[in-house]
Structure 1
């Protein structure tokens, strides 16, 4: 505050020094008071001398408070020729402000004078004055509360004097003590006071608005002596010192050396480090022995201890709490009761496997003294004779061991270095009682499970509840259990080792007086999740007003609520419908649909925790007339196929039409002449090929097969000289179409057919044993009259049939000048292998 005022004055001085020398001494400001109470009014006047050469009679004085222009004040000319302007500020709300008096000057304002205005509060009375005698510095230290800020520079002074009669009489003044800036305490040195003599002390606060004094203290410096706390430590063990009892601590402390000549008393406070326990206070402690045995503590528990002291029996002040000391109380044998639970499994006829569980009671904070657990077995009839056989020694709360089948009891104890607890017998009873009924679970929150059941009859004495992670976790791993001793309850809350979204297996076993009941188990989730996805819909069948949908239902999961399936569908006009089905459903038929309409369908799978939707399936129903049209088309197609099949069978099976479409012609290069013999009788087959030279003549080859009905003598039989009387009656003639230009000069065959030229005759009988013969004619007609054009790729010339002709028997004629002999030089058969009887036996 003082620094702010100094800066403001310096600024004002600089502004005044910067005033124009021509206006120096022209005007000045008078204030009613330089400092006012914050919010009060203040009046200021600016007087301009008549010697100011630049002052016009019409010059108007301008006021400015900081950066704010103020309304013009009352301005008047005095009888002596000076001008005066007076202004009143109704409320001064700033603790520091500058007020300027100015004149218009060269299109601006020229400052004539500046004044500093201050506002604040008078000081409040200092309170809570207290003093203490510090033996270390040998000074009297006093402190007080100054009160709220005054907004003005305020000075505090600690005043004192040496007094008599409870400070009613002032004997000698003591120099004032002025604290440092911002401090509210001050020290009176030892040389300015007398010990064991009263002193009057008070604090005075002063600023420009007033002065305040605190209440006066009258005290003897030795009455306010504050000693330092003693140093606390544990008593070192020695043969002369008896070890502490269980749950006790032996303490020792050393007083502060400057206070050895001062009688004092001390207090001790302590609390266990476990948890947030409150402090416990012990005192006063003996002042001469400087040691103390603190009992009533928890065995083998860490404690925090502190000590403080005060001058006693004379008056004084408590010292501060000394530094903390951490000690661990002595041990005692565990004083706990062990609750037990077990499982048995028969390994063979003589050995059983036992898994034993236990819990110390009272709760955990009372069982920290336990260092381990011992399970032992003492053979019956040898108690005290043979030492017990240890089965396991562990720090865990469970143990697995093997026992003979006849052993029905083991002993469990807890121990530490001070001894063992009372033995807890464990008797293995059989499962003979009835189990609980109607076991149910419910998750109240993600970290707890409520289990309830129907109590069996007769009522048990209690229950054992076990829980642990369900499949796929290994059976029996990390099981948590608790025992309920009230057999009338029907449920319990499980809160230990419960995590969200985990599957738990819960087992409840009733306990009877000398036996136990069968265990019942159930699976449950601490916090169930909804299904991840829904089955996909598929269309099985569809009609004009119905659709059959199917899906693969999800397999039920352990511990989860059963699923329900809901089918939603929307018709073309936006109307929605739904149907809910149970978890075993896998198909559904939608009825009352519109023909030839689009429907949007999806499936929702839901349980108690949530739901999931499948993808949307879009289907269109069949139009009403489409089924009849399909049936008609199918029937017509079947009818056409049947007709075609019948016609084909008729054409293929009719004897007169056999081989009419696709004759079987053997390959001349890989067959004999015998394979050319027809197999049908009394049938005439004529194959006519088109001419390769003249398109107007379609037949190029006419093969006529003649078969005789009975054997008759032919013309050749009458002529013995020719050597051909034994020829067969059946005659096969092979006639080739020749050049049409030579038809006029060729002899005509006996058949009278003018479009054929006979080159040779094949004579033979299909029933005769002899070989066949052919007669070559001495015709001058060339076999191939000329080059013929090659057939087109699409012309199947060799399988075009010609109309049937009447078979005609051809007989040899000597006039034709033909000779009998083998068919070796017949042009069309030169590629055939002509053999003997086996090759020509058909003729």
Structure 2
């Protein structure tokens, strides 16, 4: 293949070299329009000069679009010998492609000329034209949206002119502005502008298929000016006449230098640095003071501030937001009331151990981050003659009080001061407790606690929860206070972990009294039991096995079993299974094989998952000796019965054509007609005549095998000269239908010939017999038979008087027959097979 291609290429090169001119001089493509709208038709023509006809044949011009041959070219010859081909492409679906005009040179297709085809769309109208006057670059920058892709090179030009009215008339043209690098924006320099004179601006888009123009924009350059943002800074509060109030900020700014003489207004926005709060916009600020005090903020909070400005009251664009400035507001003393709870324990008759808990102060009400908490016996919360009971930054503390002290004070403090004291009164448990306390776990990270409200209704509830026993209940406990005394339940989501036991306590709070606490235990989420019940074998037999197990009692935090599944597998890895309900404690496996090995295991299923028990291996019992003998005896008896039935069917079936032995009737008690068995239709065949061609058709050939006998007086030494048949097998031929009954009244005077044969020989002579067919018309019987002998057939008894008596055989008759068999008359006797003659 490579050699043939190389030879073809070499031949083409040689042809090109031998031509008077190059291939470029052979053909030329002409295109009316090289660029069309995408999907439109295009027509091209190619002219081939007569110098290209190197073989004296008419050249066949071929067209290719890209790498594909294009059919449909119409070729015609001109008087000067040149050939012209024209092709029309109905749909040009390529944005760019090469159309080639080709000729076959040798075995290759050579390109004579190529033309580039382009397809696309005309430019869309540019949209959204906007212009901004930038005082930093001192130029007017306009930008636009070019529209959808045209697939063709498209040129955009920003055109403008100056006008003294509303751009209805054009005074001075401004040089066109062409964007660089395919951008959709362009800037007109300041030297071509009059800042306070109207000018008309528009964009023109152009490509090979057309031109489009945007809407005209009439503007004054200073009306579209965009200022630069100002610069922010924080003012020193110590230099101000009065210090800033808590929640206020002092700030100043400096305008952009280029806009110092431009009247403008500015906007300020702020948001807390922490959290997800949105920006808050402040009303336009005065531009002459350049200072501002921002109040209404959270104390001790860091805020982010930004500012922007615009030309005002004349039109203009807002500047960008200034760089961010972060300032922190001053602190103020906390001004909230703390939620407090306690627990008491009697140490001795005079001392009580108190553990006090409180909730953290919310940030928006705290006035600043609290530095610590102070617990004292003074009702005012201020340090008195006695030292404070507790001074900590934690949310709890423990202290000792003398028996009989019922009240302490709790305050929060920071650098700005202390909060109002929160009195804590240790009331006695005199109110009623909640009733019907219960808890459930909706999911792995929450607990629902419900109860029945007591009577009278309390003012609030205190709910405590933490890990239950065996862990100490006083550590890592969480609590909350619900001030609505009519609620009947609450959802706990704080500090809940899955698969844990929780202790929940609910205490009602009354006016100047506390009710007894009630406890309940629950799991946050139930898990599957650790193990399934252990499987045991109770009894086993030859084909069955009884299994039992003890169901596991319910466990806290463990999902109860819903059902069991028993699996067992035999030695051939055949698996079986059955499903039982959760109340079952035993099962009997049936249908097992004796003396076989089985593997059994139990799987317990709960709502939380499945658990498998340990496996159990068992062996079924083997069959006993007596049972084995009984089984073998039954099998043998069954096989014997099947054999006898098969033998009887083989012997007695009437449909069989070849029984195991021939059915030969007793000749002393039957006639020749009864000796002839039923002839099936498919057994009939014809045997050609041995001598006479006019012999009637022969329907049966019977084969007799003669036993060896001693030679007798009936043997003929010259019988072989009449018949040359084999000596061991002789054929007896019966004409007509052997099933037809022999006539009782023979017709001696009929003209029909009767063919028969005569058998010569002695039953006692061992010499070989002969069989000859005779054409004699002599009757078989010439006279009456007085009575049949013991060896004669019974049909002679039915012969009427006057029937012919057979004559004695002699050597002078028409034919000499073969040796006799055991019976003299064997006409009609048919014995199938050579082996059937052995019985006679």
- Whether the TM-score (by the shorter chain) exceeds 0.5 is yes
Shift of 1:367: 4.0
8 Å CA contact 2:376–2:382 kept in 1: the answer is no
Contact 2:161/2:172 (8 A) holds in 1: yes
Matched, 1:433 2:426: no
Q: Counterpart of 1:505? A: 503
Query: CA offsets, 1:576-595, max 9 Å, x none?
Result: 5746459xxxxx67799999
Distance 1:276 1:53 in 2: 85
Provide structure 2 residue ranges, at least 5 long, that are not aligned to the other structure: 1-15, 625-840
1:17–1:218 Cα change, 3 Å: farther
What whole-Å deviation, never above 9, does each CA across 1:131-190 have from its counterpart, x for those lacking one? 111111211111111112211111111122221112222221222111112211111111
Q: Which residue pairs with 1:204 in the alignment? A: 204
Distance 1:136 1:384 in 2: 63
Partner Cα distance (2:525, 2:107) in 1:
84
Query: How far apart are the structure 2 equivalents of 1:207 and 1:567?
Result: 80
Q: Is the 8 A contact 1:595 1:624 kept in 2?
A: no
- Equivalent in the alignment of 1:614: 613
Deviation at 1:232, TM superposition (A): 1.3
* 1:300 matched residue in structure 2: 300
Matches within 5 A, 1:97-136: 97-136=97-136
Separation (CA, whole Å) in 2 of partners of 1:373 and 1:20: 108
After superposition, give the CA deviation of every residue in 1:192-237 in whole Å (9 maximum; x if it has no partner). 1122122222211111111112222222211111111111122112
Structure 2 matches for 1:657-696, cutoff 5 A? none
Pairwise CA distance, 1:564? 8.0
| Cα deviation, residue 530, structure 1 | 0.6
CA contact (8 A) 1:359 1:397 kept: yes
CA pair 34-561 structure 1, distance change in 2 beyond 3 A: closer
**1 CA distance for matches of 2:324 and 2:446?**
41
SS in 2 for 1:432: coil
Question: In the aligned structure 1, how far is the partner of 2:533 from the partner of 2:220?
Answer: 94
Match of 1:527 among 517, 521, 525: 525
| Residues in 1 aligned to 2:241 and 2:20: alpha-carbon distance in whole angstroms | 95
* Equivalent residue, structure 1, for 2:463: 465
* Superposition deviation, residue 280 in structure 1: 1.3
- What is the CA distance between 1:516 and its match in structure 2? 1.9
Change (3 A) 1:548 1:257: closer
Q: 8 Å contact 2:446–2:493 — kept in the other structure?
A: yes
Do the aligned residues in 2 keep the contact of 1:19 with 1:112 (CA within 8 Å)? Answer: no
- Which structure's CA Rg is the greater one? 1
Measured in 1, the distance between the counterparts of 2:327 and 2:162 equals: 49
Cα 1:229–1:591 change in 2 (3 A) is: closer
Check the 8 A contact 1:376/1:389 in 2, yes or no: no
Q: Following the alignment from structure 1 to structure 2, what is the Cα–Cα distance between the partners of residues 481 and 170?
A: 82
- CA shift digits 1:105-155 (9 cap, x unpaired): 112222221111111111111122111111112111111111122111111
Match of 1:186, SS? strand
Tell me how far apart the structure 2 counterparts of residues 431 and 565 of structure 1 sit (CA, whole Å).
48
Instruction: Give the aligned partner of residue 233 of structure 2.
Output: 233
CA 564–601 in structure 1, closer or farther in 2 if over 3 Å, else same: farther
Q: Is the 8 A contact 1:159 1:204 kept in 2?
A: yes
Alignment equivalent of 1:398, drawn from 396, 399, 405 = 396
Cα separation, 2, equivalents of 1:480 and 1:424? 21
CA shift in 2, pair 1:546/1:184, >3 Å:
closer
Q: CA 1:76–1:547 in 2, change beyond 3 Å: closer, same or farther?
A: closer
For 2:613 and 2:345, locate their aligned partners in 1 and report how far apart those are by CA, in whole Å. Answer: 48
Residue of structure 2 in register with 1:58 after alignment: 58
Task: State the SS of the aligned residue for 1:464.
Answer: strand
- Flag the 1:385–1:335 CA change in 2: closer, same or farther, 3 A: closer
**Structure 2 match to 1:477:** 475
User: What TM-score results when the alignment is normalised by the length of structure 2?
Assistant: 0.66
Deviations 1:371-426, CA, capped at 9 Å, x for gaps: 1343333368x999945742212222212111111110111122222222222111
C-alpha distance in 2, partners of 1:169/1:153? 33
**Contact 1:122/1:210 (CA < 8 Å) preserved in 2?**
yes
TM-score by length of 1: 0.65
Per the alignment, residue 779 of structure 1 pairs with: none
Q: Deviations over 1:674-704 (max 9, x none)?
A: xxxxxxxxxxxxxxxxxxxxxxxxxxxxxxx
User: Per-residue deviation at 1:444?
Assistant: 0.9
Residue 577 to residue 145, structure 1, CA distance change in 2 (3 Å): closer
- 2: CA distance, partners of 1:105 / 1:594: 88
Query: Does the aligned pair in 2 maintain the 1:336–1:360 contact within 8 Å?
Result: no
Is residue 337 from structure 1 mapped to residue 333 from structure 2 by the alignment? no
Distance 1:314 1:384, change over 3 A: closer
2:369 corresponds in structure 1 to 370
| 8 A Cα contact 2:352 2:400, kept in partner | yes
Measured in 2, the distance between the counterparts of 1:331 and 1:339 equals 22
Distance 1:541 1:355, change over 3 A: farther
Q: Secondary structure at the match of 2:222?
A: helix
CA contact (8 A) 1:160 1:176 kept: yes
Q: 1:50 to 1:600 in 2, by over 3 A?
A: closer
Q: Distance in 1 between matches of 2:590 and 2:96?
A: 90
Change in 2 beyond 3 A, CA 1:592/1:108: closer
Question: Shift of the alpha carbon at 1:281?
Answer: 0.8
**Whole-angstrom distance in 1 between the partners of 2:381 and 2:176:** 90
1:493 to 491, 494, 512: 491
Give me the CA root mean square deviation: 3.6
CA shift, 1:290, in A, is 0.7
For residues 608-666 of structure 1, what are the alpha-carbon distances to aligned partners after superposition, in whole Å with 9 as ceiling and x for unaligned?
534423124456799999xxxxxxxxxxxxxxxxxxxxxxxxxxxxxxxxxxxxxxxxx
Task: Determine helix, strand or coil for the equivalent of 1:45.
Answer: strand
CA distance in structure 2 between the aligned counterparts of 1:558 and 1:414, rounded to whole angstroms: 43
Q: How many residue pairs get matched?
A: 603
Secondary structure of the residue that 1:238 maps to in structure 2? Answer: helix
Alpha-carbon distance between aligned partners in 2 of 1:17 and 1:343, rounded to the nearest angstrom = 114
Q: Map 1:585-604 onto structure 2 (within 5 A).
A: none
Please list the CA deviations of residues 763-811 of structure 1 after superposition, one character each: whole Å capped at 9, or x if unmatched. Answer: xxxxxxxxxxxxxxxxxxxxxxxxxxxxxxxxxxxxxxxxxxxxxxxxx
Give the structure 2 partner of residue 280 of structure 1: 280
Task: Report the Cα distance in structure 2 between the residues aligned to 1:384 and 1:177, rounded to whole angstroms.
Answer: 79
What is the distance in 2 between the residues matched to 1:567 and 1:175? 92
Provide the C-alpha distance between the structure 1 equivalents of 2:387 and 2:467, rounded to a whole number of angstroms.
35
